[in-house]
Amino acid sequence: MKKTKVLLICVTIIILIPLSSCDKNPAASQAMAEPSAGFQGGDNYQPLDKGLYGNYYEIFVGSYYDSDGDGMGDLNGIVQKLDYLNDGQPESNTSLHIDGIWLMPIMPSPSYHKYDVTDYYGIDPAYGSMADFENLVRECGKRGIRLIIDLVMNHSSSEHPWFVKAREEISSGADWRYANYYNIGHGQAGDRTHSLEMDDYYYEGVFVDSMPDLNYDNEEVRREFENIAKFWLDKGVSGFRLDAVKWLYPDQQKSVDCLKWFVDYCKSIKPDIYMVGEVWSEDAEIMKFYESGIPSLFNFTFSDENGYPAKAADSGTGAYYANRLQRWDTIMAGRFPDAIDAVFLSNHDQDRSAHYLSEDPQKEKMAAALYLLEPGNPFIYYGEEIGMTGRGRDENKRGPMIWSLSQPGGLTDGPPARDSGYGASRSIEQQLADPDSLLRFYIRAIRLRNQFPGLWRGRVEEISQPDDALAVFKSVDGENILIVAHNVSTEEKTVILEKGKKSLGGFLTAAGGEVILKGNKLTLPGRSSALVVLG
């Protein structure tokens, strides 16, 4: 019988890693508030080939970094901050070490959020030019960063030329071409429909009247989106985040089949494309959409204040989290073994996690440890790593990234309709200078994750514990086995490991203290996690 290597992961917020020069010199971190001088990884930098796996970062461009002083975040601002996201130094304490960026919509649109597109082949002038986008693609490529863009397939803007022409056709009595691009009817309207205000005609719009739903029974619409996808793939994007794919049709199976058509087409153009879809629903419906062959779907079951990581971090009970994680992973492994779970704490549509974690840095760190040490691809919503707040109306959740409180350069105005303030416990500048900050915790957690591929792609097997505060599971990747152990309570706990040779692979602690491995006994201080290597 072959020997099995086992890794056990303990996450604690204590530091095993020597402090960088930034730790000793606050001025070094202060410089992060200024535009990046350029890629620090060197011409020979070779990022680890993770395939479609990686750590992703969601950006609302308009609120991220303003490069030209007009109050609006832009594509050049992202370029200037790429070193913050990945500076090419695997041991860096000033970079998040992300592998992919998801840009919320960047195409021309009349709205601040840009989920109602008027030109699928352009860049909104508020964000820059196509040349700026091409430069961003190049700079991401130097760092091995996969750039995916939001593609809004379910609907267009009511100001899109297609819809404008559709109205003209109906008004003039002309033959329908563009009117067939949409779900337009006559007579009795139904749910989620809106009046065209002419001869009792109406159109479907699941969300609002400014977002008319597209008709994918029309082959011309499908050809339009094949051309759109090819255009952006030719520009060098690594893939797409697909908005609202649950609503492509009123019928679930037809939506799944439609998504399969689009995924198959994109894979025919770029076999290594990464795509992640939004199906904001319960776990059964999310799983159903994996039948399309899409690489990832967002795991809404594990997100927001009702998600298992947040509940575990907030309540101090971890066993149920481990049980639910195994259940979810077992279903995925059985039905869709090649699928990559897309895990997150919050996104642009949800209250920021700092709120439902009581703006408590220890709880925020614990929640981060839980989801960053799960299999799949973690998605970090910009500002989550510094405890940014924002809740209520959507504009409040998409506020300005807080780079520095002493040097306001690059700070954006944020969405104009915000009706509450925004903030973080401290700015990026301050948190980079503090080894105990939430930001530095994120950096350490991602560095730990990067060291062990079994954390990304392993299958989960819960190891039940007599104490509900403990969440312990194996992550099995072939002959390599990682054991992730979390103590989500505020009190010290002990985990008894299986017999055999083992070593402590790494740990994180949210509240201080030290993780100790002695023989088969693993001691975890309050709110900590650990990785143990067996064999």
pTM of the model: 0.91
pLDDT tens by residue, the chain, 535 residues? 433 434 443 333 333 333 333 333 332 322 233 334 356 665 566 777 899 999 999 999 999 999 999 999 999 999 999 999 999 999 999 999 999 999 999 999 999 999 999 999 999 999 999 999 999 999 999 999 999 999 999 999 999 999 999 999 999 999 999 999 999 998 877 789 999 999 899 999 999 999 999 999 999 999 999 999 999 999 999 999 999 999 999 999 999 999 999 999 999 999 999 999 999 999 999 999 999 999 999 999 999 999 999 999 999 999 999 999 999 999 999 999 999 999 999 999 999 999 999 999 999 999 999 999 999 999 999 999 999 999 999 999 999 999 998 888 899 999 998 887 766 668 999 999 999 999 999 999 999 999 999 899 999 999 999 999 999 999 999 888 899 999 999 999 999 998 888 889 999 999 999 999 999 999 999 999 999 887 7
In the three-class reduction of DSSP (H, G, I as helix; E, B as strand; rest coil), residue 351 is classed as coil
277 neighbors 298 (Cβ within 8 angstroms): yes
Active site members: 243, 278
Measured between alpha carbons, how far is residue 212 from residues 143, 247, 375, 485 in Å? 38, 12, 37, 48
356 neighbors 311 (Cβ within 8 angstroms): no
Least Cα distance to 349 among 305, 395, 306, 282 occurs for 395
Domains and CATH numbers, the chain: 21-152+295-455 (3.20.20.80), 161-204 (no CATH)
Q: For residues 359 and 368, give the distance between their C-alpha atoms in angstroms, rounded to a whole number.
A: 13
